[in-house]
Amino acid sequence: MASDAVKYMPIQGGGGGTTTTTTAAVADIKSFFSALKPKKTSTFAYAFVITFVLFTLFFAFSPSPNSSSPCHFSSSQFLGRIIREDYYQEGSNVYHELAVLEAFRKALTTWGRWVEKNVNPTKSLVFFRGYSASHFSGGQWNSGGACDSETKPIKNDTYLTPYPSKMKVLEKVLRGMKTPVTYLNITRLTDYRKDGHPSVYRKHTLTEKEKKTPLLYQDCSHWCLPGVPDSWNEILYAELLVKLSQLGQTQRKP
């Protein structure tokens, strides 16, 4: 988790929009109470509604310093300031911090246990497809990453990216499973095809901001069709034919 996981945040967010919205909310509350007066609503009910609305406004207009929208909050409050923290629960264990690779390993291990418990390998086949590579050059999707000039696949292996750590985690989990899992490893295969992304040609309509800087908003993670994903289907189809052939040979044995 990032070092700035814990932030202290003021009750009121920046800008003048909070005051305007709060004034409108107060007007709505008065209107609401006026409608309730003939029914002689109790003092407790008034206090409850006011408290609820104030707490709603408090959380709605206390954004994270690094974001324009509210984020995760803890229940710790002191003198109008709150502590923002993230927690992760696994069974009865609660983690304050959890590394991405460790979280990925735990998720895959949980999936593997479910497969072992619920899948009968004599009746079902299990396939797991790895993830495909992206080819942002010079930044990410929202920071100038580009691939619009790529017209040919990578032919020199030295230009390929290092094999992802997440795929190594996956392969280790698969090796520890008793139920056979057919691993469709498309990660390295797709790494060669830097030329297969939609780039600037994916969207037919652009926002005003995107129109001014169209090359800064490129799609270098998805794929053109027809294109690279067709090979994934061919691999899956070939695996199914192999499994079918193996099943036929087993049934023909005396």
Quickly list DSSP for 53-89.
HHHHHHHHT---TT-SS-----S-EETTEEEE---EE
**What is the pLDDT, as a whole number, of residue 202?**
73
Contacts of 53 (CB under 8 A, 6+ apart): 25, 29
**What is the pLDDT, as a whole number, of residue 43?**
58
The interaxial angle of helices 43-60 and 17-36, nearest 10 deg, is: 160
Query: Residue 109: in which H helix or E strand, if any?
Result: helix 100-118
**What is the pLDDT, as a whole number, of residue 197?**
92
Nearest-angstrom CA–CA distance, 141 and 210? 12
Nearest 10 degrees: CA dihedral of 176, 178, 180, 186? -10
Nearest-angstrom CA–CA distance, 188 and 26? 59
**What is the pLDDT, as a whole number, of residue 241?**
94
**What is the pLDDT, as a whole number, of residue 147?**
86
pLDDT tens track, the chain, 254 positions: 443 333 333 333 344 444 444 455 555 555 555 555 555 555 555 555 555 555 554 444 444 444 433 333 344 443 445 555 677 788 888 888 888 899 899 999 999 999 999 999 988 999 999 989 988 888 776 677 888 888 999 999 998 989 999 999 999 999 999 999 999 999 999 999 999 998 887 766 767 666 556 666 788 889 999 999 999 999 999 999 998 888 877 777 66
Nearest-angstrom CA–CA distance, 165 and 56? 42
Contacts of 140 (CB under 8 A, 6+ apart): none
Nearest-angstrom CA–CA distance, 53 and 31? 14
Domain boundaries, the chain: 7-90, 100-252
Nearest-angstrom CA–CA distance, 33 and 36? 5
**What is the pLDDT, as a whole number, of residue 149?**
86
Q: With beta carbons less than 8 A apart as the criterion, state whether 166 and 104 touch.
A: yes
CA neighbours within 13 Å on the CB side: how many for 118? Answer: 7
